[in-house]
Amino acid sequence: MAGQIGFTLMTEQSGPRELVRYARLAEESGFDYLVSSDHYFPWLPEMGHSPYAWSLLGAVSQVTERVGLMTYVTCPTMRYHPAVVAQKAATVGLLSEGRFVLGLGAGENLNEHVVGPGWPRVSTRHEMLAEAIDVIRRLLDGETVTHHGDHFTVDAARLWDRPEGRLKVGVAVSGDRSVDRFGSAADHLIAVQPDAGLVQRWREQREQASLPAGRAIGQLPICWGPDADRCAQRAHELFRWFSSGWPVMAELPLPGSFTAASESVTVDEVAQGIPCGPDLDAVVEALEPWWDAGFTDVALVQVGDESQEQFLREAAPELLGRVRERPTFRAVA
């Protein structure tokens, strides 16, 4: 399986028209695939955006020709009913002529509370996700689905427009229990930390179920720019929430909550975790733990809307060349 480098369409920090333009530039720069976040709110008020990911993906499918597309990730349990997610995924699969992977996860309170029923505990969220994946899979496989489950009801649903071949599904996991629960339910692993044990357990689960290992897909934030100090300030302004960790991030309800939770995070602390400045080798080195952990794919996040176009035009082609020259990246193939 060949390794891939992706680029993140960060809906929380850019408007929809800008994101479509960045998608086209990312393909021209040489990225292998694009992932889109799927949020109702930005993480912090300073980020300032949150357009609808599925309209964005439809537009991106028409201005690109080669790159893969993916949600990173969609929660199919509260804000969206799983039957509707299946229809959206099938449509994007058709528009992109088979380039789309449906990335799913258990979600965050930040984005799901807007529909009002309250934020379930994590065990319930995993139950809901498992049930949702089953419904989505059956619909994508062409079944007419009637389902009366613990969390969802589906009444004689059928997808009338589906891509040829089975649309691939990725699932976000964070520990042994989620790997054990979802290891045979999806095609690809999605994670936010370069955890070798997670990948190994996933592959063992897949092997026991006589399933292909699939891709292991991660994500790395960077803040490239000519001035390292300015980049560190920008990363702190827009991405200091990232240091909270997913157990905290999944529970907080509003962008202001993330502001309060990250008020003690310093610029230096952010710069220690995010490569900041013009040094492309620092980005290459930051990717090494992912390849060492067994990940096949990593999508970069360029922090800051104002720097997207400059990064894609000036830095990305050289960066991608350096990454692909590394023995650790080539060993992924």
Q: How confident is the model at residue 173 (pLDDT cuts 50, 70, 90)?
A: very high
Q: How confident is the model at residue 246 (pLDDT cuts 50, 70, 90)?
A: confident
- Per DSSP, what are the bridge partners of residue 100? 69
Any catalytic annotation for residue 39?
Answer: yes
Q: Is 50 exposed, middle or buried (0-12, 13-18, 19+ CB in 10 A)?
A: buried
Q: How many CB atoms lie within 10 A of CB 2?
A: 10
Whether the per-residue pLDDT at 264 is higher than 60: the answer is yes
DSSP letter string, 41-83 = S-SSGGG-----HHHHHHHHHHH-SSSEEEES-B--SSSS-HH
Radius of gyration of the chain (CA): 19
Average the pLDDT over 92-96 and give the result: 98
Residue 333, pLDDT score? 56
Cα gap 119→97, rounded to integer Å:
36
- Residue 92 reports pLDDT greater than 80: yes
User: Given this model, what pLDDT does residue 322 score?
Assistant: 97
Catalytic residue among 12, 46, 81, 108: 108
Q: What is the pLDDT of residue 331?
A: 79
Mean pLDDT of the chain: 96
Tens digits of per-residue pLDDT, 6-28? 999 999 999 999 999 999 999 99
For the record, the structure tokens of 3 come out as: 């390794």
Task: Please indicate whether residue 107 or residue 245 has the higher confidence score (pLDDT).
Answer: 107
| Rounded-to-integer distance, Cα 53 and Cα 82, Å | 16
pTM attached to this predicted model: 0.97
Determine the Cα–Cα distance for residues 82 and 134; give it in Å rounded to an integer: 9
Q: What is the mean pLDDT of residues 258-266?
A: 95
Active-site option among 12, 27, 39, 147 = 39
Q: Where are the beta strands (DSSP E) in the chain?
A: 4-9, 33-36, 68-71, 100-104, 145-148, 153-157, 169-172, 188-190, 216-224, 276-277, 297-302
Cis amide bond preceding 135, omega within 30: no
Q: Which residues, other chains included, contact 81 with Cβ-Cβ below 8 Å and sequence gap of 6+? A: 152
Q: How many CA atoms lie within 13 A of 20 on its CB side?
A: 14
